[in-house]
Amino acid sequence: MATAVQAKSHAAVFLEQDKRMLIDGDWVQARHGRTLEVYDPARGEVIDHVPAGDAEDIDLAVAAARRAFEDSDWSRMSASDRGRVIWRIGDLILENADELAELESLDNGKPLGVARAADVPLAADLFLYMAGFATKIHGQTLPISVPFAPGAQFHSYTLKEPIGVVGQIIPWNFPLLMAAWKLGPALATGCTIVLKPAEQTPLSALRLAEIMLDAGLPDGVVNVVTGFGETAGAALAAHPGVDKIAFTGSTEVGKLIVKAAADDLKRVTLELGGKSPNVVFADADLEMAIPGAANAIFFNHGQCCCAGSRLYVEQKVYDDVLAGVSERASQIKVGPGLDPDTEMGPLVSAEQLERVTGYLQSGEREGVRTVTGGKQVGEHGYFVAPTVLDGAGKGNRVFDEEIFGPVVTAIPFKDSADIAPAANETVYGLAAGIWTNNLTRAHRLIPQLRAGTVWVNTYNIFDAALPFGGYKQSGWGREMGEEVIHEYTETKSVCIGL
């Protein structure tokens, strides 16, 4: 007999639970008992509360991470066993994929289908990829010559050692994925961690913390302190017991992190903002380039550090590309992330809505033409219409600054010799796109672009094996791939006189 009562989803059950943060294997409230509100950005309503941890909680978490780093089941664990725990985390993410995708969609606003197809499997894959590195972190034996000691013999080699206790501060645009990007390699190297998720999107990190305990991670190895950036985040960045800070977020806060870390010269890696050029040449396959350029900016509502927000189009095809991208923009179905028809959800917060609409108004005041979109959608929630702007240039804030919303400025160019200097004319250097069928043109342009990632005839492709990070003010260091392992290790040179 069918029952009329629908079973609650796992995510709904999780939402009903009292939220605590994870310190030293215990689920705890903030020491001061304060909480912060968690919003559903599609309705602009509070859906949950999590602890608002601050400096005192960070102290406890750092002390727990230090104990776990120095003397624990974790510090004594073989590399192979460490790899197995990390692999299990990846497997458990996949087993709980529906729940995690629903939480992510509800908390961040992104379409459920996108969270289920991209955020969650990519997060799992990162752990699965990093699990293999646990057993493959090694130094080298080095034949040294030592000219000032003729005839002497030495045995020399390097050791790769975990950097220690790591503070990880992450943003709200890909909450689960950013946690995975940071936790996976830190765990593979044997570090211990204090993770601070963004105040806007703490839910999936707390659920991931449960998963990590279920996977067999010993107490204190990963501690998750929810709280505000100015309190919990700042305390973590300045904490003398932390050996390294890994940060993703705004360039502005990235600079604060560097200053906070300067007192004790802790290691810092930063993945910051961008204003990425996406270049369409007239010889490109426009049937690919037009949807590609739309995806480059509108994926995740433009809330991507690598969003293709400056669209440079060769003059001959400018009108066609502008019309094509604008048409696609106007067709995107905007709605709540949990609605199966939705292609673009709300922005993450009221603050972000205000920021993005503020940019749109400044463009309008400065005479930039809005081809499509240009305004807020609906009265509830934080929705903005996918927007294409024409005629913006240097001196316009919409052109110069990172908007971090679904807003692209299209710019024509005549001479392909001008494109590299134009594309590079920004303080950022995170990513760039090239659309062309001319192999020579692509290969000549790639080395001229000052960007950490260059996509050719594609955009927004990420993989656990592919390093990601920025030139210039887009950051320090790289996430993912083998490169990130070096960001979580110190090299010790050993020299033995024989």
Residue written as tokens 């968690």?
A: 38
Number of residues that bind ligand NAP (CB under 6 A): 27
Tokens of 436: 């062309």
User: How far is the CA of 257 from the CAs of 38, 266, 487, in angstroms?
Assistant: 25, 10, 16
Of 57-65, 126-134, 163-171, 380-388, which part binds ligand NAP (CB under 6 A)? 163-171
Find the binder of ligand NAP among 108, 248, 342, 387 (CB under 6 A).
248
Tokens of 105: 């969609």
Q: Does 48 bind Mg ion (CB under 5 A)?
A: no
Where in 302-341 is the site for ligand NAP (CB under 6 A)? 305
Tokens of 258: 């560097």
Q: Is 482 assigned a catalytic role?
A: no
Give the angle subtended at the CA of 223 by the CAs of 61 and 124, to the nearest 5°.
165
Site string for ligand NAP, 105-144 (x = CB under 6 A): ----------------------------------------
Length of the chain: 498
Of the candidates 130, 132, 112, the residue with the CA atom closest to the CA atom of residue 120: 112
Taking the complex as a whole, the smallest distance from the CB of residue 30 to Mg ion amounts, in Å, to: 18
Of 93-101, 213-221, 244-252, 286-294, which part binds ligand NAP (CB under 6 A)? 244-252
Taking the complex as a whole, the smallest distance from the CB of residue 325 to Mg ion amounts, in Å, to: 29
Q: Does 39 bind Mg ion (CB under 5 A)?
A: yes
What is the three-class DSSP state of 2?
A: coil
> Kind of pairing, strands 369-372 and 387-390?
antiparallel
Of 19-27, 266-274, 280-288, 360-368, which part binds ligand NAP (CB under 6 A)? 266-274
Q: Does 372 bind ligand NAP (CB under 6 A)?
A: no
**295 φ, ψ (degrees, to nearest 5):** -65, -35
> Rounded to an integer, what distance in angstroms lies between the CA atom of residue 155 and that of residue 267?
29
Where in 98-117 is the site for Mg ion (CB under 5 A)? 107
Answer yes or no: are the C-beta atoms of 231 and 54 closer than 8 Å.
Answer: yes
Find the binder of ligand NAP among 230, 319, 354, 463 (CB under 6 A).
230
Q: Does 51 bind ligand NAP (CB under 6 A)?
A: no
User: How far is the CA of 423 from the CAs of 420, 432, 449, 450, in angstroms?
Assistant: 5, 8, 7, 9
Which H or E run includes 370? strand 369-372
Q: Does 428 bind ligand NAP (CB under 6 A)?
A: no
Q: Is 271 assigned a catalytic role?
A: yes
Taking the complex as a whole, the smallest distance from the CB of residue 453 to ligand NAP amounts, in Å, to: 13
Residue written as tokens 């999780």?
A: 14
Positions in the binding site for Mg ion (CB under 5 A): 39, 107, 200
Binding site for ligand NAP (CB under 6 A): 169-173, 196, 198-200, 228-230, 233-234, 237, 248-250, 253, 256-257, 271-273, 305, 402, 404
Residue positions annotated with a catalytic role: 271, 305
